[in-house]
Amino acid sequence: MRVGVFICHCGNNIAGTVDVAKVAEEARNMPGVQFATDYMYTCSEPGQEEIKEAIQREQLDRVVVAACSPRMHELTFRRTVEKAGLNRYFFEMANIREHVSWVGEDKDLNTNKAIEAVKLAVEKVKQNKPLFPSSFEVNKRVLVIGGGVAGMQAAIDCAEGGLQVVMVEKSPSIGGMMARLDKTFPTVDCSICILGPKMVDVSQHDNITLHAYSEVEEIKGYVGNYQVKIRKKATYVDWTKCTGCGECTEKCPSKDAYDHFNYGVAPTTAITIPFPQAIPKKATIDPTYCRQFVRGKCGVCAKICPADAIDYEMKDEIVTEEVGAIITASGYGLIDLDRLPEYGGGRYPDVVSGIQYERLLNASGPTEGHILRPSDKEEPKTIVFVSCAGSRDKSIGIPYCSNFCCMYIAKEAILTRDHIPDSKVYVFYMDIRSPGKGYDEFTRRAQEEYGVRYVRGRVARVFPKGKKMIVKGVDTLLGTQIEVEADLVVLATAVTAAPGAPQLAEKLRISYDQHAFYVESHPKLRPVETNTSGVFLAGCCQGPKDIPASVGQGSAAAAKVLSLFSRDMLESDPAVANVNINVCVGCRKCINTCPYGAIEEEELRDGRIVAKVLETVCAGCGVCTSTCPCGAIQLQHFTDNQLLAEVNALCLS
């Protein structure tokens, strides 16, 4: 065995707290090590050249690089050794940066730890076997989860790229949050006017199949070959017949249904079409309010529907779609007003959320664009905006900034002044966060041109006094407490992960952080990839972001899918389970425990039953290997002997 070891300084990142020269020197004495050296930046072009040359010069047959995390550069170096003629699995990485130099202060201890990390890798690599990927076909269809602006952008870009797209939207219409906005910052452009055309593109594109009012039920398979079960929820209206004429919504007698689209600013009818530009423009019945369901009799809509589309008997329907990749753009949620009792959230009708206010501003909203306060439908003269309502607030478990509130508050403030010229508008803020093209200018316009009064300080309490709401807070610039008598209070409620985000993540087998936002492969360099190959992220499911950022991610995710699909065959990771039929006793324990059903029985000529791995289905978790009593089934690259070699390297000394 001729192992070559390369210790990376990573500038000072490693060399700063690890004696790399000593590590290299120690490495030279390790059994099987032929050559060891340290280098400034091993991942650099010359650094990789050095490795290739050494492989030739020293006839190395195994390579160990001690540098950063393998999650960072394993692939880079595998390619390097492959270029030099070695099998890419004759390579191991010792993580002496994230796990050593960056977490330990004592140089001696770090150096010793690094030496052992190298020893570990050397012992492992000596056990490594050459592995060769097999290739399989790709199903060039893509599933887009979520019909918000990010999802729509992704869908359109994929469709334009010639891919078949399946879009799943859980609400009755696509459009997402943007469809609810009145205007967009910083241009004060009409939101639905710029979104509408995209929505139409989605609905009319030959390559896009839209499942509205549907949710992902189950996802099976792997990159290139996913099977997705989709639940089409019962709308109780036959959409093939419904013309969207809207007569039913006018005649519907139960008028106190919660209006999901308008965030309950005003009640709506049990049968609704969410908004004029809805796509598809079809009616949906909410059985929790519909009298036909609640009282068992009514049937008004059924009677008056000219297309006779009403079907109270309708049931959920499950459809299965086969795709090769998935883009999840499942969006975000907002915290409930009730979680802000100090602001009277949920208790006082005249304390509303930012998104509710958008609907009050919007011409197609319940007030037809006249700002009327919910309690008495009067026009408010003094409006107070409270930013960071829940955001950046550890005490309710939301330490992060919701990203776009500062901007939409400025926008809503400006619009308020437009709607009600004689209004007084206050904004309580912690900081004004406006880092974007034309953003800061915009917040300044709000203050300078529109005379919005920005108060730097937090609000302590909001309470009613007569018809007014008293907003009690502090002005940190004046260093005093202030009270504002408001007619209407608008809270910039904190952005949260979308309801049900964790459940979806579990179906997708991607990970999510403690706030249930989805985790990207790398925060800087792989922002739309996930650790599950074939699954990509777009928009706010990954974290709060504004429209341009979401659209950008939508296109980015689409680009990723297009490049993934640019090949007809994909290479499967050869690090999968493998059965030694001479040892297998056919006890079937692996078959019963495999999470993927990737193992089947095989009858040998002598009639013996043994296990057989379906290479493309196996995902390489290794549960089978730790289940097999006789060690007959071994996960390649993580075999018992490879792990035992590592354990022994550490323990037997």
Partner 1 sequence: MTQKKLKEVVQKVLPDVDMVIGYRQGFDPVHATPFFVTRPEQIDELIWNPLCVHNLASYIPSLTTNKKVAVIVKGCDSRAINQYLQENLINRENLVVIGIPCSGVVSVSKVLKAVDHQIIESVSCENHAVTVKTSQGEKKLSVSDVSPDKCKTCLYPTPLVYDHLVGDPITSDKEPESVYDEVRSFEEKSLEDRFQFWKTELDRCIRCYACRNACPMCICQDRCIAESRDPHWVTQKTNQTEKFMYHMIHALHLAGRCVECEECTRVCPMEIPVAKIKKKINMEMDQLFDYKAGLNAEDTPPMYTFKVDEETIEEHEL
Partner 2 sequence: MAENEYIYYPGCSLEATAIEYNMSVRLIFKALGIKLVEPDDWSCCGSTPAHSVDHVFAGALAARNLAIVEKMGASTVITPCPACLSAFKKAHLRMVDNEEFKKEVNELLEVPYECGVTAKSVLQVLLEDVGLEAIAEKVTTDFPDLKVAPYYGCIIARPPEVMQFDDPENPVAMDKILTALGVEVCDFAFKTECCGAAFGVVKKKMVNELSSKILNMVLDCGANCLSVPCQLCQQNLDLRQDQINATMHASFKLPVLYFTQIMGLAWGYSPRELGLDKHNVRADHLIRSKRSIEEKRREEEEKAKTKKGKGKKGKVKKKPKAPKTEDKKAETKQPEAKTEEA
Partner 3 sequence: MSVVAGKELRIVGFLCNWCSYGGADTAGVSRFKQPSDLRIIRVPCSGRVDPLFVVKALLNGADGVLVAGCHPNDCHYSEGNFYARRRLEMLKKFLSYMGIDDKRFHYTWVSASEGARWQQVVTDFTKQIHALGPLHQKEEAGD
Question: CB 430 → partner 2: shortest distance, Å?
Answer: 13
Question: How far apart, in whole angstroms, are the C-alpha atoms of residue 94 and residue 68?
Answer: 8
The item of partner 3, partner 2, partner 1, none sharing an interface with residue 639, based on CB under 5 to 8 Å by kind, is partner 1
Please give the residues from 239 up to 258 whose contact with partner 2 meets the rule CB under 8 A: 256, 258
Q: How far is the CB of 537 from partner 1 (least distance, A)?
A: 25
Cis status, amide bond into 464, omega within 30 of 0: no
| 359 touches partner 3 (CB under 8 A) | no
646 binds, among partner 3, partner 1, partner 2, none (CB under 5 to 8 A by kind): partner 3
Q: Work out whether strand 325-328 and strand 141-145 pair parallel, antiparallel, or are unpaired.
A: parallel
Are residues 264 and 366 in contact, defined by beta-carbon separation less than 8 angstroms?
no
Is residue 592 involved in binding partner 1 (CB under 8 A)? yes
Half-sphere exposure (Cβ direction) of 244: Cα atoms closer than 13 Å: 13
Residue 218 or residue 308: which is nearer to partner 1 going by CB?
218
CA distance 532 to 542: 15
Asked whether position 460 contacts partner 2 by CB under 8 A, the answer is yes
**Quick one: which of 14, 62, 16, 23 has its CA closest to 42?**
14
Alpha carbon 422 to its chain centroid, in Å, reads: 43
b/e map of 263-272 (b: 16 or more CB within 10 Å)?
bbbbebbbbb
Residue 193 touches partner 1, criterion: CB under 8 A: no
Pairing type for strands 382-389 and 424-429 reads parallel
Residues numbered 586 to 645 that lie near partner 3 (CB under 8 A) are 593, 595-596, 619-623, 625-627, 635, 638, 640, 643-644
Out of 204, 395, 582, 653, the only residue in the binding site for partner 3 (CB under 8 A) is 653
Look up tokens 């079937």; give the residue: 588
Based on CB atoms, which residue is closest to partner 2, 460 or 647?
460
CA distance readout (Å), 391 to 163, 346, 399, 541, 627: 39, 17, 6, 17, 46
* DSSP H helical ranges for 343-404: 354-361
Out of partner 1, partner 3, partner 2, none, which partner does residue 256 contact, by CB within 5 to 8 A per kind?
Answer: partner 2
* Window contacting partner 3 (CB under 8 A); options: 94-102, 199-207, 425-433, 484-492: 94-102
Annotate 388-419 with three-state secondary structure: EECCCEHHHCECCCCCCHHHHHHHHHHHHHHH
* 634: contact with partner 1 by CB under 8 A: yes
Q: Is 271 in a helix, a strand, or coil?
A: strand
Contacts of 546 (CB under 8 A, 6+ apart): 403, 404, 407, 436
Q: How far is the CB of 585 from partner 3 (least distance, A)?
A: 17
Nearer to partner 1, 298 or 633 (CB): 633
Beta strand segments in 134-213, E:
135-137, 141-145, 164-168, 183-184, 189-190, 208-211
Q: Which is nearer to partner 2, 338 or 606 (CB)?
A: 338
The half-sphere exposure of 617 on its side-chain side, counting CA atoms within 13 A, is: 13
Residues 267, 255: Cα–Cα separation, whole Å: 7
d(Cα 301, Cα 288) in Å, to the nearest integer? 16
* Residue 479 in the binding site for partner 1 (CB under 8 A): no
> Which range, of 94-102, 353-361, 464-472, 587-595, touches partner 1 by CB under 8 A?
587-595
Return the one option of partner 2, partner 1, partner 3, none that residue 630 interacts with (CB less than 5 to 8 A, by type): partner 1
Cβ proximity of 291 and 281 under 8 Å: no
Stretch that binds partner 2, among 67-75, 192-200, 204-212, 344-352 (CB under 8 A): 344-352
Report d(CA 225, CA 231) in Å as an integer: 20
Kindly write out the interface string for residues 508-537 of this chain, putting x where it contacts partner 3 by CB under 8 A and - elsewhere. -x-xxxx----x-----------xx-----
- Between 366 and 622, CB nearer to partner 2: 366
Q: Which is nearer to partner 1, 109 or 630 (CB)?
A: 630
* x/- letters, 547..586, toward partner 1 (CB under 8 A): ---------------------------------x--x-x-
588 binds, among partner 3, partner 1, partner 2, none (CB under 5 to 8 A by kind): partner 1
Interacting partner of 634 out of partner 2, partner 3, partner 1, none (Cβ under 5 to 8 A depending on kind): partner 1
Give the residues lining the site for partner 2 (CB under 8 A): 256, 258, 264, 266-267, 337-338, 340-342, 344, 346-349, 375, 393-395, 460-461, 463-467, 470, 472, 474, 480-483
Give the residues lining the site for partner 1 (CB under 8 A): 580, 583, 585, 587-589, 592-593, 607, 627, 629-632, 634, 639-641, 644
